[in-house]
Structure 1
């Protein structure tokens, strides 16, 4: 938050405009699908009287019954007192007409993701509620500014983007449109916090924080697959077991729905005027066109039909580890490997310069740097991938070209197996899998911060809580080094000169700042 924002927030709180909406005030939820019901439950448990409205007759009543059933299950699990459940049920009031929402202090919309539908709804609401009522949309893909453009008082309009399931996931993106008043955004933020959520502030940008910054997690995996570097099961395994991600991108998009994930990617890409950094995948488009949408259709990247065998990642057979290696210079983000090799009984000689591991036969084992093994005609190169934590990682990916001798590749495989890692041998792909993914995540995150989308702290918080990343991308970028990220992306840019991998100016600047090279 800038000093100006902090001053505005302090002023708003001083006159009460930025205070959370009290539990004695009514909250209305319009739209009673999964998200609408979840948001209503959150407000209900926080102590509000909640009015449910849906344009389809009878749906609000059915939604109230479903919410009541979930409250019953909370009581059965010991997470809610029966007396609190009974009181909450009395405060849950289905509404047959928008006019019944007139006493609301906050209205949250969770209807169809169509701009005209939302604008029509809020135009009607504006004629119904008081002028101090906060209006909020749960949209994940539309512009908050555009929705508010139809309103007489757009200053009170904000985005409150909950994540599904809303009662369980803590993150809420509080989105300020172009015309949103600071006091309205502050009040929405304070209310989400009072409801037990972890709110983050962001400006109205395509994808907000999470759906903008997360695109490379899917895009880089798809690029590796399209270039025949590895199969989906292997890519997922490497990102889970080496990168520390909770799920791999192929299994995650199968869970989300290929059509949903592809639509978000396409929406962000189109909203950024076809910026190559957000380009969709032809492979995923073909999957959607084939009707293989993931778990909900029984087939996506993987099969979910009864009796279907789960594909297993490529894992190299056992290989003999070298007795001794030579570590030339500093291994950068992979420096902790040296201690692991020594603990495994491998003799390590240290020599100056180079930044690689020398293998007994003369081959070099190098951390992914955006180049490929086939580019080195007089030197055998085996690349290995980045890990979130090399000590805890259970799998490492390595790659080599056809010109690399089988002996050097086997020595590299055996070396990682000696420290307890499974090894996946993949194609000669520049930047490998984890390294290029982390570099792109950090780059897109840095660019978002520098463009005023959100603070670095809020970006990292959003990515940890919204999509369960092992670390925030900016925190991760600082850990591996933005100079390393800038160099890796620069190398990728040379090999893919489309602009997709050109490092953002903020990434380059952070690299210089790390080295104190600012004139």
Structure 2
């Protein structure tokens, strides 16, 4: 079935040029080619465009072998693919997408030269992930036709495209770029030119909070990864994911966003990750990062992954008292009853679960166990029924009985239990609260719509929920309250709730009359 292109999308009959023939350039060229365009490939290195065209032919051959493309369609696509030896051969392009070195002078010089070659109606687009779209366009005579088209690697497979409007980008330019990406079968989202755009801006806490907890000796990497996967619902933990991405690559993005935001404490890089990079321990590609992988390129020799901390079996309490509304964890009441635990509910006070030995099991709220007598905190879960692991935290002063009863209770509910250090906000709750905060701040500042932010985070980094949706489920003052408590205990500015979260919490008080 043939898709009908939007009226404002660049017609398939028009030429698309791709400059830069590395992995991203080839991927973008493949997307445009399969969408029906004539594609011209150009690279400043002699013969590189021809080599890229041959590599693209191989990619299409593999699609045919796997039954994902007809041989006739492959032959027609390859007939539309043309390596270019000179920049002047791109003169008929309706769209030029650049995927060259992430260096501002290189990109500015390239687009300056392209302005002398292409027609006035040609859109100029950069696939940059770290540079300012506004800055790249700043050297152009006609910056209104310049836009960011940030594809995610591998471009043929991943659906997300961030359509980035620079300070001078015309609205019509952004719309044509958006509709063209949509016609290519992608899921585009719009955003303004902000450091990191949507995904790389909002995703920073997913890595940063895990690294900070590790640096604070709250938990080891394997445990933090397991808790975020098995309780938070994330597909991969931050330690294993950054090993896959490359510690040097991930740290460079973090540092770029931090510096672009004038070294805001919200984006402070990790010293522990810096030490990995300085040591050449870049992850899978170097054979070791946070974890050991054995010899690079030899999966059969991969080292065994450390196991997460898991508490030994403990006896569950026969009866508990639930005080107040457990909020996001209220499903635990029904789960405990179903597991045969006698539950008494008290409406006033809390929220906490009172244990038989007078200990209290409290949902993570940004405070620490050391502040209270016999308080054991339990972490946030995406879905308490579906979660297979729960993290608990306690101080050295917490009684052994309280910890044992808390462990036994969650084991009775069918969960593995990881007991971590006395970490304010714990692991999942602290991470989610920061993601919610950065998303709310981005919406309030017009970076992108709430819908586009959630779409970008689900498709770009495979989050189980977008942070705006997570905020709706948790309640509009949940993240504000947790971060306020964290900020009080760690007053660096990193955890200070954004004005957007403050307004949400204040609006909630106004609505309830409190």
Tell me the TM-score normalised to structure 2 length. 0.96
Q: Distance in 1 between matches of 2:433 and 2:213?
A: 15
Shift in CA distance, 400/17, structure 1 to aligned 2, threshold 3 Å: closer
Q: Distance in 2 between matches of 1:392 and 1:270?
A: 39
- 5+ residue gaps, structure 2: 295-300
Establish whether residue 452 from structure 1 lines up as the match of residue 446 from structure 2.
yes
Tell me which of 155, 161, 166 is aligned to 1:172.
Answer: 161
| Deviation digits for residues 163-199 of structure 1 (CA, Å, limit 9, x no counterpart) | 0000000000000000000000000000000000000
The residue number in structure 2 matching 1:394 is 388
The residue number in structure 1 matching 2:504 is 510
Q: How many Å apart are 1:516 and its aligned residue?
A: 4.2
| Deviation digits for residues 114-144 of structure 1 (CA, Å, limit 9, x no counterpart) | 0000000000000000000000000000000
| Deviation digits for residues 433-479 of structure 1 (CA, Å, limit 9, x no counterpart) | 00000000000000001011000000000000000000000110111
Q: Distance in 2 between matches of 1:168 and 1:471?
A: 21
Which aligned pairs between 1:64-213 and structure 2 lie closer than 5 A? 64-213=53-202
Query: 1:26·1:106 contact (CA, 8 Å) conserved in 2?
Result: yes
Establish whether residue 234 from structure 1 lines up as the match of residue 237 from structure 2.
no
Q: How many Å apart are 1:511 and its aligned residue?
A: 2.1
| Deviation digits for residues 248-301 of structure 1 (CA, Å, limit 9, x no counterpart) | 000000010000000000000000001100000100000100000001101000
Q: Distance in 2 between matches of 1:109 and 1:54?
A: 10
231-240 vs 501-510, which moves further: 501-510
Tell me which of 386, 389, 407 is aligned to 2:401.
Answer: 407
Q: Distance in 2 between matches of 1:25 and 1:111?
A: 23
Which aligned pairs between 1:282-321 and structure 2 lie closer than 5 A? 282-305=271-294, 306-321=301-316
The residue number in structure 2 matching 1:6 is none
Q: How many Å apart are 1:62 and its aligned residue?
A: 1.0
Tell me which of 208, 218, 221 is aligned to 2:207.
Answer: 218
Query: 1:481·1:511 contact (CA, 8 Å) conserved in 2?
Result: no
Q: How many Å apart are 1:509 and its aligned residue?
A: 1.4
The residue number in structure 2 matching 1:325 is 320
The residue number in structure 2 matching 1:462 is 456
Tell me which of 360, 363, 367 is aligned to 1:364.
Answer: 360
Q: Distance in 1 between matches of 2:185 and 2:78?
A: 20
Query: 1:481·1:514 contact (CA, 8 Å) conserved in 2?
Result: no
Q: How many Å apart are 1:354 and its aligned residue?
A: 1.2
Tell me which of 234, 255, 267 is aligned to 1:245.
Answer: 234
Would you say how many aligned residue pairs link Structure 1 and Structure 2? 502
| Deviation digits for residues 203-254 of structure 1 (CA, Å, limit 9, x no counterpart) | 0000000000000000000110000000000000000000000100000000
Query: 1:18·1:186 contact (CA, 8 Å) conserved in 2?
Result: no
Query: 2:6·2:183 contact (CA, 8 Å) conserved in 1?
Result: no
Q: Distance in 1 between matches of 2:319 and 2:101?
A: 63
Q: Distance in 1 between matches of 2:279 and 2:512?
A: 52
Query: 1:42·1:166 contact (CA, 8 Å) conserved in 2?
Result: yes
The residue number in structure 2 matching 1:338 is 333
465-474 vs 335-344, which moves further: 335-344
Tell me which of 444, 464, 474 is aligned to 2:468.
Answer: 474
Shift in CA distance, 310/17, structure 1 to aligned 2, threshold 3 Å: closer
Query: 1:17·1:183 contact (CA, 8 Å) conserved in 2?
Result: no
Query: 2:6·2:179 contact (CA, 8 Å) conserved in 1?
Result: no
Q: How many Å apart are 1:309 and its aligned residue?
A: 1.5
Question: Is the partner of 1:482 in helix, strand or coil?
Answer: coil
Question: Is the partner of 1:172 in helix, strand or coil?
Answer: strand
Establish whether residue 270 from structure 1 lines up as the match of residue 259 from structure 2.
yes
Tell me which of 10, 19, 25 is aligned to 2:8.
Answer: 19
Q: How many Å apart are 1:515 and its aligned residue?
A: 4.5
Query: 1:27·1:104 contact (CA, 8 Å) conserved in 2?
Result: yes
The residue number in structure 2 matching 1:422 is 416
Question: Is the partner of 2:148 in helix, strand or coil?
Answer: strand
Q: Distance in 2 between matches of 1:498 and 1:518?
A: 32
Q: Distance in 2 between matches of 1:108 and 1:428?
A: 50
Query: 2:292·2:302 contact (CA, 8 Å) conserved in 1?
Result: no
Q: Distance in 2 between matches of 1:290 and 1:390?
A: 40
Question: Is the partner of 1:342 in helix, strand or coil?
Answer: helix
Q: How many Å apart are 1:482 and its aligned residue?
A: 2.5
